[in-house]
Structure formats: structure tokens, C-alpha cells
Chain A
Amino acid sequence: MRLGSFAAALAGVALSALAALAQQPIKPAVVYDKGGKFDKSFNEGVFMGADRFRKETGVEFRDFEPANDAQIEQALRRFARDGHSPIIAVGFSQATALQKVAAEFPDLKFTIIDMVVELPNVQSIVFKEQEGSYLVGLLGAMASKTNKVGFVGGMDIPLIRRFACGYVQGVKAAKPDAEIFQNMTGATPAAWADPVKGGELAKSQIDRGADVVYHAAGGTGIGVLRAVADAGKLGIGVDSNQNGLHPGRVLTSMLKRVDIAAYSSFKAAYEGTWKPGTSVLGLKEDGVDWALDEHNKALITPEMKAAADKARADIISGAIKVHDYMSDQKCTM
């Protein structure tokens, strides 16, 4: 018995060694944005994806949290000089720095998330946040009893308006007469980390009659979900699965799979299939989704699930076109 398991372990080691020989040795690295590695949201998603790659393949990765703008370029160049590849740059604010560094190191692979950088050695990964937001808007409108729903955004930038616009379209698809309140937390990066103000905005929307509130506000959203749960209404989470934060009080979460983006970029490089260019991840590519787990299954009725499944199929087939705010900087409904 013991010998058997030992032999099996040995065989396993030999196999993985063989597998490792077959793979190209890679030295992946991640540069987070200034929000930091453990932000419970965007950056942490990238870390989770990279960590999953490490656990599966045993290949270690390096990472760095820049403290100021100068350090972003410094870190990218430093990783590049040490021969790290692929290097993932997290967030749109790294585009300028990446443009410079990637041009200096044409033999290395770079991946940027949430922004497009057009260079022959850069892979750009962007998401169709409007599609996922459409689905949670649809679910939110169906769950609403008052026919009034809310949206709390983080920083007022085109990207967040894209979330809002998709959400509005989903709500209107389920209930054309529904009323939607929209608030942005602020105009500076501080708006990503202001849970108190997020909570106040949610409360004011609830006071005006909203009973479902969706947030796309990073750390600010923690306050939104808490205020909504305290008032006995329903919240909708964003980026990662936030259903478990207030079980039974979070209707669902709009998943933006940055973890999969990071994981598949590393994995593709590991397997030698990494390609530069822009990938746009929507419902079809499993880049965005809505979360259904044990925390919210009592909240989602069979009709709601059927409607969401149908809308998803229609968006994938092209029967429903979800308007992208960033295509024309407008959200006309």
C-alpha cells in the first residue's frame, strides 16, 4: 500500500517533470495598479488568477505594487530587464508606461487589462461590461417590487458609464416603465475607496423608493452593499462574486473575470500559444457573467433564471444588441 502510493507519487513527479520539459520555461510577472494587491476586487482578481496558475503548474510569478506613477514604468522596465515574460500590467492607467517599455523590449510578451495598447508584442484584454450589466439589470428589475432600482458608480469615467448604460438597458428590457436612479461617487480615484459616501448614496436612492441597488465602485461598493443590506433591500455586487458578503441580501454579482484573463495569459505563454492583439471578452467568451450560488439561490426565481438565460443566449447570438457607451460616449435609450 505504502509502496504503491510511493510509486504513484514517483510516477507523478516523473510525469510532471516530463511535462515541464515539454513546456517552455516562463518567468511571469504582474504589476498591479495603485489600488494595491488585496483590494477585494479588481487587483485581487488578477492575483487569484496568477496564483491559480502557480498552483497548477508550479511556476512561480513575481509581482509588484507601485506606490506612485514613476514606479509603474520603473517596475515594468525592471521586470523586462530581468527577462520576465509575460508581464501583466493591471489597469488602464499603465497604458502610457507600457507603451514605452514594450517598445524597448520587443522580444518579451506584455498583457494589459482594461485598455488597448497596439504593439506587436502586447496583448490587450478588455471586457464587455455592458453585457454582464445588462443581465444583472434584467434580474434586478424583475426582483424589484417598487419598480425603482439604483446604480452607484465609483469614479465618473467612460468605463463606469459603460456599466451603468448596460444596466439601464437590462432594466428597461424587463420593465420598460421602471425608474432608475444613478449616482457617481466622485471624479477622482478616491471614489474607488469611499464606502461611507457609497453607503450614503445607496441610502438616498432607497429613500427615493429603490429596492435593488447595483454598484460598480470597487471598495466604495462595500459600503453600498452594507447600506442596502441594513435597509433590508437587495444589492448587486461587481467584479468578483460578492454574494457571500451579505447572504440573502445580495441578489447577484456581475462577474468580470480578470482572474481568468490573468490565468489564461500565463497559461497560453506556458503552452506556447500566447498571441498579441486585442481580445474583447463578453458573455460568449465567459469574460463576464452573473453569479448564482448557495447564498442567492433563494432570491432567484425560476422565471428570473429563465429570463436571464434567454437574454444571455440572445446576446451571444446577436438577437439582442447591448449598446456600448464607449463606442459613442452616449447612452440613449
Chain B
Amino acid sequence: MSAAPVELPRWADTALVPLVSVVAALLVAGLVVIGIGENPLEATALLLRGALGSAEGIGFTLYYATNFIFTGLAVAVAFHAGLFNIGGEGQATVAGISAAIACAALGAVPGLIPGFLAAPLAILAAAAGGAFWAFIPGWLQAKRGSHVVITTIMLNFVAATLIVYLLREVIGKPGSMQPETPDFPAGAVLTPMHQFLAPVGIKLPPTPLNTAFLLALASLFAVWLLIWRTRLGYAIRTVGANPRAAAYAGISPAAVTMIAMAISGALAGGLAVNEALGVQHRLVLDFTAGYGFVGIAVALMGRGHPVGVGLAALLFGVLYQGGAELSFDKPTITRDMVVVIGGVLILFAGALDGLFRRLVAGALRLGESSS
């Protein structure tokens, strides 16, 4: 990320500012809830209980968080290289297509590879698809100077059109009302968590949570390792901070741009792993459902650090699952209201970030001068 105009101590930057913006967002959301004649405290309690109050609620919360971890990391990695990848939706879409084609090939030729390799292969196919779709804007940026903000968002539309064509004409299930593929072969899909943990005696209610969540946690660690503990990560951060200085130091900004974008796209492909291979077990249209865009807010709120991204993803998971439960229990709070509350949160955490930084900085200075 670019250097901030306001200097803050590290603890304030990583913890206080996000906390202040979340609290402010919740206050404004509370005003909206009062506006429609409901009690905001009761609504908050319902939201939290719905998201964290039962094993099933936690399962759904972590399932949503899995999506946000992947898309949040995708944006964060590109951020470190000074790139704004807003094409997570498109990259996840192509990842889903790629995984579906791999699954179709596995289904068509049984015994092509040993059974236990089917799921890893499908996951690799998804990552490769996402990486390819992000590599294109990376190459255009590095070699042609086309800005990634423009190219990534335009490729979202290309991917959306591509999946429609493929699902209707090529890989779709014939005669189906919905544009969707046939079910993936059983060996290629990920195990639901309640089945995965049953052999060790942990009983969970059935939820969409599946082993992709473990992959998401591993990705958080891997990204931390990559960015702060490897030569490539150092190159990525250097290019992000100052491309000219990086070039002077012998790092090729063009190569780093393309590599960082490909890694970013592969991470966005995790969304397809969770949704298509983990939950739906087939490729459906619109499975990305805006998770790619929420990933931008997750990365901003998490300050691009895997720990922050994980916490922000959890927060949005709580919001999605708790919001659904809230609109369930309170018919006056519709699903659109839940979108409004989420939108306020994104606005405060993302767009108004600078405002809170300045406020926090001012408050800290005031504290120093008075003491």
C-alpha cells in the first residue's frame, strides 16, 4: 500500500483505526435500525447469536469467512506490489470454469489418475485458471502500461460472458432449467467439515463449511511467509513501495508485477474451490455473488496483513450469517437492510479510512500534549 499521509504508531494503525471505524459503522447502522422502528441492541444480539451462538451458525460464519479470506488475500497480495486488483470476481469465475473442465475430464476418463489425487488436481486447476486470468492484466500492465484497475474490472465482464456461453453451450447439463454443469465426480469434491471431523468423534450439524476452510487458513500462513520471509516477497514489497528504487536495486518491476498478479489470481481462485468444489459440487452461474468485491474491503480493513485479513474475513462472515438470521427473525429487517449495514461497514472501513486516521492521530497528539 502507498505511504499514509498521517504517521501513526504501529499499534494505533493496525488495531485502533480499524476498531474505531467498525464501532462508528455499527453506530450508524444502529441509527438505520432505529429508523425502521427496531431496537438496535436487540438486533445486534440477534445478529451475534445467529452467527456465533450455535455450532450451525459458526459453521455458516466460517463458510462465508472462507470466501472472504481467499478474495481478501488476493487483493492484499496485489496491494503489496502496488497493484489494485479488483478483478477477483472474474478470476474466481475462470477458476471455477477451469476446475469444472478438470472435473469433467476426470469424470469422462475414470482411472485417469489415482482417486486421492482428484481433489488436489481440481484445486490446482482452479488456482491455475485464476492465475491465468490475473496474469493477463499483469502482463498488460507490465509490458503495455494498461492500468490494472481498468483491465481487471473489464476482464470481469469477459469472464461473466464466457461462463454463460460455456454453461449454455459446452459444459452445461443438457435440458436443465438452470445454466449449471452436471455434478462433479465424487472423488474430486471437498469433504464437508461435519463428515471430515466425524471419524475423530466431533459431531457437527451439516453446514456448507468444508475442508476449503483449512486451505484458507493455510493460505493465510503461506501469504505471510511469502510476503515477509522470502526473497520474492521482499521484491514484491519493494516494487510496491517504489518501483524505480526496485529497478535500481536490480529487481525487475515488470516481472514482479506479472508474478504478483498471478499469485493474486490464484488466491481468488480459492473462492471457486470453496463454492464449486466445496459446497455446490457443480458449477453454477453467479457463484461469485459479489464475494470478490467484498474482498477489497476485507483487505483494506485487514491492512493487507494475513492476520488482519483473517479477522476482517471473520467479521464479514459474522455479518453475512448473522444478517441472514436477523432478517429471519425480524421480518421488518429485510435482506436489503442487511446489505445496507454491510455497505456502511465497507464505507467506513474502506473509503473513510483516512478520516479516522486523522481523528485518531489528532486524539493521540492531544493526549500527548496534555500529559
Contact = CB atoms under 8 A, between A and B. Distances in A.
A74 B324 contact: yes
Given A63-B331, A74-B60, A69 B179 contact: no
Contacts of A93: 177-178
Contacts of B287: 69
Contact of B334 (A65, A71, A74, A159): A65
Interface in B275-311: 279-280, 284-287, 289
Interface in A80-97: 92-93
A332 interface: no
B60 A188 contact: no
Contacts of B233: none
Contact of B328 (A75, A92, A157, A187): A75
A188 B280 contact: no
Contacts of B168: 156, 187
B289 A188 contact: no
A240 to B, nearest CB: 21
B324 A157 contact: no
Contacts of A188: 164, 179, 285-286
A157 B334 CA distance: 30
Interface in A158-214: 158-159, 187-189
Interface residues of B, number: 24
A189 B177 CA distance: 11
B171 to A, nearest CB: 14
Nearest to A115: B177
A4 B238 CA distance: 90
Interface string B15-57: 0000000000000000000000000000000000000000000
B158 to A, nearest CB: 15
B324 A67 contact: yes
Interface residues of A, number: 24
Nearest to B168: A187
A271 B167 CA distance: 44
Contacts of A64: 327-328
A298 to B, nearest CB: 38
A70 B279 contact: yes
Nearest to A67: B335
B280 A69 contact: yes
B175 A329 contact: yes
B63 A187 contact: no
Given A69-B280, A157-B177, A329-B175, A189 B208 contact: no
Nearest to A91: B177
A284 interface: no
A92 B335 contact: no
Determine which residue in B60, B164, B177 has the highest number of CB atoms from chain A within 10 A of its CB, and name it: B177
Contacts of A317: none
A70 B60 contact: yes
A164 to B, nearest CB: 15
A112 to B, nearest CB: 13
Contact of A71 (B175, B179, B324): B324
Interface in B140-177: 164, 168, 175, 177
Contacts of B315: none
A156 B167 CA distance: 13
Contact of A67 (B177, B179, B331, B338): B338
Given A70-B60, A75-B328, A329-B175, 17 more contacts: A62-B331, A64-B327, A64-B328, A66-B335, A67-B335, A67-B338, A68-B289, A69-B287, A70-B208, A71-B324, A74-B60, A74-B324, A75-B324, A115-B177, A158-B177, A187-B164, A187-B168
7 contacts: A65-B335, A67-B338, A70-B279, A75-B328, A93-B177, A187-B168, A329-B175
The 5 tightest CB contacts between A and B, nearest first, are A67-B335, A92-B177, A157-B177, A68-B289, A187-B168
